[in-house]
Amino acid sequence: MILPPEAAFSAANSLALAGWVALLASPRFPRAAQAVAGAAAPLLLSIAYTGIILASWTRAEGGFGSLAEVMRLFDSPLVALASWIHYLAFDLLVGAAIARGAREEAIAFVLVIPCLVLAFLFGPAGFLAFAALRWTRRAARAATIQE
Amino acid sequence: MIAFAAPASATAPGLFLPRILREAFRREPLYAGAAAILAISMLPTLVAYALDDRLVVGVAAWAKPLKFEASLATYLFTLAWFAGWLPAGHVRRRPHWLLSRAVVVAVALEMAWLVGAAAHGVASHFNVESQAMVNIYRAMGALAVLLTSASAVLGIAILRARDAGGDPALRLAIGIGLVLTVVLTLPTAGYLSSGAGHLVGVEAEGARRLALFGWARDGGDLRVAHFLATHALHAIPLAGWVASRLLAAGAARMAVILCSLAYAMLVAWTFAEALAGRPFLPFLG
């Protein structure tokens, strides 16, 4: 094995982290942040994911049919590595979409930071937080205009 | 909710595309596009190659998908490039439209089989473990003939379109090269694929091999003739390009014909040498 899974794991983490740092700097460098977090880093992670799945899928046990089968899939270190990279890539894409949406609607970045932190740590929770924030702002604005 | 689509400014008009790719896409978008997708697929295949330590017949499991992605991408890009020598509008007409789609479907099926075989760690070629494997191997052979024959069809159309402009000696070389690829590949690859393997008179698997190509250094290797036969579509046009720069029209034409004959003899010689169990240029590697 030319690339040990632990080394691939560290490299993928560093790459994703670079994307999240770019998103934190996105108010100053919006285009560069989107290029890194919305395209380059997720694409590299997707290449890694696809290659790892090609190399490991047919040898893994388990399946998608039940929770027990899915847990058996993760017994394979390469499938677990691929799944981790799957989280990294897709959470980063959600983070990039949050930064883009916040910019389009001119949402104050201090409010966006907690959403990004949540998306970084717990993907869907950050997505939910940003959706709630945006809906609340839209609702408040609509209500003010109506009066 | 949250839009994942890129902003409009990041799409077509401002798309970064090197001039040579832009030109290939203009000449034959389907072949150029399929070549680009094959080239991109090499990236995850390289990752799989780096992670997967399984061997198939003594060679890394992902070496073969990787080689075929590279060579089919080269082949389709070459066809797209030479399609520029067709008369205007030919690419959009029915016969070419149908054949090019059939070729791309054949390439997709070949790659699906090669990737699937590598993922399962089984041999994609010369696999006689079961009747199903033998049948798949035969079907893949038929698809390979189909996708190779497109080169001859294109070559004949280019040879017939003498009024479409460009240097006549170079046009002749491109047309002959494309036809010769099929004429030489069908017998060499056909013989190669119908036997038990690509080696002749080699003592042990995994012995000395030529770097990158993997050709046997201690016996005959039928893949040498297949390689040279299939690259006629590069070698003859290259000779034609040189001849058209250096020689007058009549002499350039004669040089192209002589080079084509010499190249066909070279392929025949490497084929005969491999059959006799002798390595190709043994002082290499």
Model pLDDT, residue A146? 67
Residue-wise pLDDT for A35-85, tens only, equals: 999 999 999 999 999 999 999 998 889 899 999 999 999 999 999 999 999
What is the pTM for the complete model shown? Answer: 0.86
The three-class DSSP label of residue B4 is coil
Q: What is the mean pLDDT of chain A?
A: 93
DSSP B129: S
- Which range, of A107-121, B115-129, B151-165, averages the lowest pLDDT? B115-129
Among A119, A109, A48, smallest CA distance to A83 is for A48
Model pLDDT, residue A1? 58
Q: How far apart are CA A98 and CA A85, in angstroms?
A: 20
B50 touches chain A (CB under 8 A): yes
The three-class DSSP label of residue B220 is strand
The minimal CB distance from B51 to the residues A78, A101, A131 is found for A78
DSSP string, A4-64: -HHHHHHHHHHHHHHHHHHHHTTTT-HHHHHHIIIIIHHHHHHHHHHHHHHHHGGG----S
Q: How far apart are CA A80 and CA A69, in angstroms?
A: 13
Tokens of A134: 């945006």
The minimal CB distance from B48 to the residues A54, A98, A101 is found for A54
Q: How far apart are CA B52 and CA B257, in angstroms?
A: 47
Residue-wise pLDDT for B9-25, tens only, equals: 444 556 778 899 999 99
Domain segments of chain A: what residues?
A: 5-146
The minimal CB distance from A51 to the residues B3, B46, B53 is found for B46
A45 touches chain B (CB under 8 A): no
DSSP string, B45-110: HHHHHHH---EETTEETTHHHHHHHHHHHHHHHHHHHHGGGSPTTGGGSHHHHHHHHHHHHHHHHH
- Which range, of B80-89, B145-154, B191-200, averages the lowest pLDDT? B191-200
DSSP B209: B
Domain segments of chain B: what residues?
A: 20-164, 166-202+209-285
Q: Taken in order B125, B126, B127, B130, is the CA torsion positive or negative?
A: positive
Model pLDDT, residue B60? 85
Model pLDDT, residue B28? 95
Q: How far apart are CA B233 and CA B179, in angstroms?
A: 8
Percentage, residues of chain B above pLDDT 90? 62
Model pLDDT, residue B8? 46
CB B48 to CB A51 under 8 A?
Answer: yes
Q: Confidence class of residue B261 from pLDDT cuts 50, 70 and 90?
A: very high
Helices (H), chain B: 19-27, 29-51, 63-82, 94-119, 131-160, 168-194, 223-230, 232-246, 249-275
B47 touches chain A (CB under 8 A): yes
Instruction: Encode B225-234: b = buried (16+ Cβ within 10 Å), e = exposed.
Output: bbbbbbbbbe
B1 touches chain A (CB under 8 A): yes
CA distance A144 to chain B (A): 22
- Which residues does residue B137 pair with via DSSP β-bridges, in sequence order? none
Residue B278 pLDDT > 50, yes or no?
Answer: yes
Residue-wise pLDDT for B202-232, tens only, equals: 765 656 778 778 888 888 899 999 999 999 9
Q: Which residues, 6+ apart, have CB-to-CB distance to A126 below 8 Å? A: A91, A94, A95, A98, A115, A116, A117, A118, A119, A120
Average pLDDT over residues A108-131: 96
CA distance A10 to chain B (A): 15
Average pLDDT over residues B116-134: 83
Tokens of B126: 């010369």
The minimal CB distance from B51 to the residues A55, A100, A131 is found for A55
Q: At what angle do helices B29-51 and B19-27 cross, to 10 degrees?
A: 120
